[in-house]
Structure 1
Amino acid sequence: MDGELFPRGRTEVAPGAVHLPDWLGPRRQRELLDACRAWARPPAGLRTVRTPGGGTMTARQVCLGLHWYPYAYAPTAVDGDGAPVKPMPPWLAELGRRAVTDAYGEPPPVADAYDIALVNFYGADSRMGMHRDAEERSPAPVVSLSLGDACVFRFGNTASRGRPYRDVELRSGDLFVFGGPSRLAYHGVPRVLPGTAPPALGLTGRLNITLRVGGLGP
């Protein structure tokens, strides 16, 4: 935000977990928002995720590369319209590599090609419970990009959903990367902060684009 008393800078929230504020500029944010709107259209578009216990996630989701559903991956939207999942764009995979390079100061191994994206849309009352991204076989870092409304992002430990954890405010354009000893840390979104999106972006709510390396080939 303009007029910050203390400018936001790079923060290592935990070993291997790095927050880079304002990593995406306004133009790049608009381009990514336009892409998300295209991906959200059917087939294999934005859907409500239902949990095995019969509940529903309050954040809606669309996937690229492979379709995530609790708790596995598939080539088709098995819990949606059954259509083949949209491909992972090469430019988005490259954005993931650049994010890791900027977060850690060195590029990821060439073998770590980002091939899965989960795009979550949060309304004003949406949240995400504490969970781990554990369905991938690759230990490559997870890349998280934020658009729209800010949120409280809770980053925890690898042992349980409880304390210790740290709450971080993620705003539009922020990058969060977690890998290494933090790759399987529990994390979640207890709260969205409505009305905090940049007005010029034209987005009500929050979009989170999470990039992953599946390592799920034969």
Structure 2
Amino acid sequence: MSPGAAHGELFPRPRAVVAPGAVHVPNWLSVERQRELVDVCRDWARGPVPIRHTVLPGGGVMSVQTVCVGWHWQPYRYTRTAGDVNGARVADFPDWLGRLGRAALVEAYGEAAADGPGSGDPGTRMAYAPDTALVNFYEGAAKMGLHQDKDEKSDAPVVSLSIGDTCVFRFGQTENRGRPYTDVELASGDLFVFGGPSRFAYHGVPKVYPGTADPATGMKGGRLNITLRETGLT
């Protein structure tokens, strides 16, 4: 049975290679696993560093709300403590989340992807060890402009998990924010991995479709996005 059929979709969505190293796997997370992730994200959102709207260096405020685990991200660096919020140390990155990230990499790239030494190229073997998670919550008209994930010292792939409302995920190229780009609908339970040639591709979320979440996941509205990364920091 295909993943889509298993989740009761009339027309199951196939997995797709959106660009070299960028793979979309629909319905990778079960509803039960999504509900577990929603619960733990709610715990993280309460602290020790609470969820917040990130303030950009120019004074702008991001419309998404973010909470971090393992390392605290603030534009445009990682720290162990949240000097821009309350000065506390962020919650530790749990081992089980690292295992989930490695399982995601295997799902996207194959069995060899998460083991042994290697670069960040999905064609080689690599020891994937994510040590931070950025959890973004999209509520109302929140969106994310096109950007690169380039504050990490590691070029290991980024693992992205979606829970809640469906969104338009815009995946571009590595040179600039212009075309060409591909718009992909990410629904609750979907996995998206980008690494190798696509690791530093511009990407963003121009739109979220309110009211599309399955209440069985524990989401009462909005979209939760969990991105796992290797910072390359010690």
Q: TM-score, normalised on structure 1?
A: 0.96
Partner of 1:213: 230
Say if 2:129 is the partner of 1:123.
Answer: no
After superposition, residues 129-168 of structure 1 pair within 5 angstroms as: 129-168=145-184
1:93-112 equivalent positions in 2, closer than 5 A: 93-106=98-111, 107-110=113-116, 111-112=127-128
Provide the C-alpha distance between the structure 2 equivalents of 1:102 and 1:36, rounded to a whole number of angstroms. 23
Q: Kindly tell me the number of residue pairs found equivalent between the two proteins.
A: 216
Report the 3-state secondary structure (helix = DSSP H, G, I; strand = E; otherwise coil) of the residue aligned with 2:83: coil
Of 207, 225, 231, the match for 1:191: 207
Asked if the contact 2:47/2:91 (under 8 Å) is kept, the reply is no
> Offset at 1:3?
4.4
Residues 96-151 of structure 1 show CA distances to partners (whole Å, capped at 9, x for unaligned) of 00100110013324543110100000002000000000011111100000000010
Shift, 1:2, TM fit? 4.0
For the Cα contact (< 8 Å) 1:129–1:189, is it kept in 2?
A: yes
How far apart, in 2, do the equivalents of 1:86 and 1:168 lie? 32
Supply the distance in 2 between the matched residues of 1:179 and 1:59 (Cα, whole angstroms). 24
- Partner of residue 17 from structure 1, selected from 14, 18, 22: 22
Instruction: State the Cα distance separating 1:167 from its structure 2 match.
Output: 0.3
Local SS of the residue matching 2:114: coil
Residue in structure 1 matching 2:75, options 51, 70, 75:
70
Q: Is the 8 A contact 1:63 1:119 kept in 2?
A: yes
Instruction: Kindly state the Cα deviation for residue 178 of structure 1 after the two structures are TM-superposed.
Output: 0.2
Residue 13 of structure 1, CA deviation: 0.4
TM-score (norm 2): 0.90
* 2:61 aligned partner: 56
Say if 2:50 is the partner of 1:45. yes
Corresponding residue for residue 91 of structure 1: 96
SS of alignment partner, residue 172 of structure 1: coil
Find the counterpart in structure 1 of residue 121 from structure 2.
none
2:197 aligns with: 181
SS of alignment partner, residue 12 of structure 1: strand
Give the CA deviation at 1:45.
1.4
Distance 1:164 1:149 in 2: 26
CA–CA distance in structure 1, aligned partners of residues 72 and 59 of structure 2: 19
Residue 169 to residue 158, structure 1, CA distance change in 2 (3 Å): same
Q: Whole-Å Cα distance in 1 between the matches of residues 107 and 8 of structure 2? A: 23
Report if aligned partners of 1:124, 1:193 keep a CA contact under 8 Å in 2.
Answer: no
User: Aligned-pair distance for 1:43?
Assistant: 2.0
Secondary structure in structure 1 of the residue aligned to 2:18: strand
Report sequence identity in percent.
61
Q: Which amino acid aligns with 1:108?
A: A
Do the aligned partners of 1:148 and 1:171 also contact (CA within 8 Å) in 2? yes
| Post-superposition offset of 1:216 | 1.3
